[in-house]
Structure 1
Amino acid sequence: MILVINLNVSLDKRYELVDFAKGKIVRAKSVDNTPGGKGIHVANVDTILGEETVVTGFLGGKTGEYVAGKLCDYGIEGDFVRVAGETRSCLALLTEDGAQTEILEPGPEVSREEIKKFRQKYAELLAKADIVVASGSVPRGVPVDFYAELIEEAHRAGKKFLLDTSGDLLARGIAAQPDFIKPNQDEIEALRGYRLQCEEDFVREIRHFLDAGIEMAAISLGSRGSLVGVKDAVYRVTVPEVDCQNPVGSGDSYVAGIAAGLSRNLPAQEILRLGAACGTANALEAESGFVRKGVVEKLLAQIAVEKIA
């Protein structure tokens, strides 16, 4: 089983507008409400791929009830801790000129007792899981070393842990040696305090992560694919050119593919191929964190994986 942790779940509200101007009444052409959060995207894609998947985290209020209902509609199995606060909403305002403005609520403040309940829930679910994926930010009240503690608990239980977050959460998490990370260039530069200017710089940083005990470290190159270190090797993963409809959620879909590959005990290069195929398949869809299984399967043959170091 793949256990996905999404602590700061959201209700994503997508408004299509002709234009947007401050201080004016703006009428939407359409509105779309979907469960949101990086982990929700991961769980959705892994469910589509046919993997036994459970997503957990915090849900609260009427918004949380709505999100839980939508997850059920999508066929995603959720097992959440209910909190006193209200699950956040995140608004995306899309105008006809192609611009997108986002308004992100901070989310509920979680109490110590609610965190304690989550740790109990995590222990129960961890016993059934083979792979753990933690994605995204955390709500207020959750300590910055929380992911690091979850990583250590997973490793004590002999389970693999994939971490996709940023900032101090990432820095503390790296120290706990997760089995997979995928920092982008900005995040690595923030961690290291210097700029990365060429492929050799990326390879060097990947080597640093591998030497620090992280089994797999990926750096996205956007439409050019990615560089990925696995144990003692570094690979260049190249994806085909596609008609991108919406890149949002492609990184989460990539993580879902990696988790599925690990769950299936695929060889390293096939794991990377599946991750890249899922990320690319998501970009072909208007919906974030969604792929079509048949499209993923067709893309697999178009992904090139080359060992470069």
Structure 2
Amino acid sequence: MILTLTLNPSLDRTIEVGSLTRGAVIRAGAAHLDPGGKGVNVSRALLANQVRSCAVIPYGGDEGRRLIGLLSAAGLDMITVPVAGSTRSNISLTESDGTVTKINEPGTALSPSELDTIADAVLGAAHSADWVVASGSLPPEVPADVYARLCRRFADAGINVAIDTSRPALLAALAAGPALVKPNREELAEATGIPIATLGDAIGAARKLCAMGARAVLASLGRDGAVLVEGGAEEQVWFGESFVAEPRSTVGAGDAMLAGFLAAGARGEEALAEALAWATAAVALPGSRMPHPRDINRDLVRLSPPDPNLPLRPGADSGASPI
């Protein structure tokens, strides 16, 4: 079972437009409202593919109740924790070429007692979990080491922890020795101070994260695919890419990638290929929809020996085809 924690969930509204022009009146082609938050998306992707998961979700206000209602209607197994503040709403504007402009609210602050209640909920359910996924941004006023503290407690209990976050929260979590971290290209550069212009740069930065405490790094490179570095005495490095003929939205694609990786055993090239297949399927879907088995085409994935000289395209995290 895979347990996910989302401290800053959201309602995600995605609006599809032909092109985005500042100051203009633009007619939307379509609009979608989906539950959001990185851990929520991981659980949704696992649910869509019949992999057992449970999501721990703090919620508050009308938006929070609507979020929980949508997830309940979808049949998601979850542990809900009511909080005093209101759940945030996010807006994504998706253009026809796959470019996504996101407007994310900061979320609501969580009090120390609310954090304790959430932590107790996670720890109470973690005994039956193979993995705990702690992911997403932190709400205002939440300490940057919150994921690190949880990671140490899970690791002491022999539970694998995957971290998908950024900035100080990622750096703090690395010191706690997570089994896996999943940065994107921008987060990889930010955490290591290494500009990512080539595949070799990405591999070098991933190796640095392993040296900082992660046992493995799954780095998504947007249009240029993904790289997996498993650290330790017998280091392994794999690279893969895929192609999306008609990209619709990159919102949640990284979460689908992490879900596919964990569902496939979270090790080696087979897990990397599955991660890319799930992410590719997500990019071809509207809004933050998570792929079902019928959406996933593994034939689109290509694994190859990593060429450190391979240039990565500018703006590869924008999510245009291929991923």
Fold agreement, TM-score > 0.5 = yes
The verdict on how the C-alpha distance between 1:213 and 1:243 changes in structure 2, with shifts beyond 3 A counting, is: same
The 8 Å contact of residues 20 and 95 in structure 1, kept in 2 or not, is answered as no
The verdict on how the C-alpha distance between 1:20 and 1:202 changes in structure 2, with shifts beyond 3 A counting, is: closer
Q: In 1, Cα distance between the equivalents of 2:30 and 2:115? A: 37
Q: In 2, Cα distance between the equivalents of 1:12 and 1:117? A: 25
The verdict on how the C-alpha distance between 1:17 and 1:235 changes in structure 2, with shifts beyond 3 A counting, is: closer
The 8 Å contact of residues 83 and 110 in structure 1, kept in 2 or not, is answered as yes
Match of 2:303, as an amino acid? V
Match of 1:144, as an amino acid? A
Q: In 2, Cα distance between the equivalents of 1:95 and 1:47? A: 28
Q: TM-score, normalised by structure 2?
A: 0.84
Alignment partner, residue 154 of structure 1: 154
Deviations 1:170-197 (A, max 9, x none): 1111111111112233223322334233
Q: In 2, Cα distance between the equivalents of 1:26 and 1:185? A: 31
Alignment partner, residue 284 of structure 2: 284
Alignment partner, residue 305 of structure 1: 303
Q: In 2, Cα distance between the equivalents of 1:47 and 1:12? A: 18
1:247 aligns with 2:245: no
Alignment partner, residue 85 of structure 2: 85
Give the secondary structure class of the aligned counterpart of 2:116. helix
User: Matched residues, percent identical?
Assistant: 30
The 8 Å contact of residues 59 and 87 in structure 2, kept in 1 or not, is answered as yes
Alignment partner, residue 104 of structure 1: 104
Alignment partner, residue 123 of structure 1: 123
How do 1:1-309 and structure 2 match up within 5 A?
1-15=1-15, 31-93=31-93, 101-231=101-231, 232-262=235-265, 268-296=268-296, 298-299=297-298, 301-308=299-306
Q: In 1, Cα distance between the equivalents of 2:244 and 2:35? A: 29
Residue 283 of structure 1 and its aligned partner are, at CA, apart by 1.1
Residue 82 of structure 1 and its aligned partner are, at CA, apart by 0.6
Match of 2:51, as an amino acid? E
Higher RCO (CA < 8 A, seq sep 6+): 2
Match of 1:179, as an amino acid? A
Residue 267 of structure 1 and its aligned partner are, at CA, apart by 5.5
Match of 2:301, as an amino acid? I
Aligned length: 303
The verdict on how the C-alpha distance between 1:153 and 1:100 changes in structure 2, with shifts beyond 3 A counting, is: same
The 8 Å contact of residues 32 and 287 in structure 2, kept in 1 or not, is answered as no
The 8 Å contact of residues 252 and 289 in structure 1, kept in 2 or not, is answered as no
The verdict on how the C-alpha distance between 1:16 and 1:303 changes in structure 2, with shifts beyond 3 A counting, is: closer
Match of 2:240, as an amino acid? V
Residue 215 of structure 1 and its aligned partner are, at CA, apart by 2.3
The verdict on how the C-alpha distance between 1:133 and 1:98 changes in structure 2, with shifts beyond 3 A counting, is: closer
Give the secondary structure class of the aligned counterpart of 1:227. strand
Match of 2:279, as an amino acid? G
Give the unaligned 5+ runs of structure 2: 308-323
The 8 Å contact of residues 2 and 130 in structure 2, kept in 1 or not, is answered as yes
Q: In 2, Cα distance between the equivalents of 1:2 and 1:280? A: 22
Q: In 2, Cα distance between the equivalents of 1:165 and 1:136? A: 5
The verdict on how the C-alpha distance between 1:20 and 1:195 changes in structure 2, with shifts beyond 3 A counting, is: closer
Residue 93 of structure 1 and its aligned partner are, at CA, apart by 4.5
The verdict on how the C-alpha distance between 1:99 and 1:164 changes in structure 2, with shifts beyond 3 A counting, is: closer
The 8 Å contact of residues 253 and 289 in structure 1, kept in 2 or not, is answered as no
Q: In 2, Cα distance between the equivalents of 1:198 and 1:17? A: 32
Residue 36 of structure 1 and its aligned partner are, at CA, apart by 1.1
Q: In 1, Cα distance between the equivalents of 2:278 and 2:48? A: 11
Match of 1:164, as an amino acid? D
Q: TM-score, normalised by structure 1?
A: 0.88
Residue 25 of structure 1 and its aligned partner are, at CA, apart by 8.5
Residue 63 of structure 1 and its aligned partner are, at CA, apart by 1.4
Residue 225 of structure 1 and its aligned partner are, at CA, apart by 1.3
The 8 Å contact of residues 42 and 289 in structure 1, kept in 2 or not, is answered as no
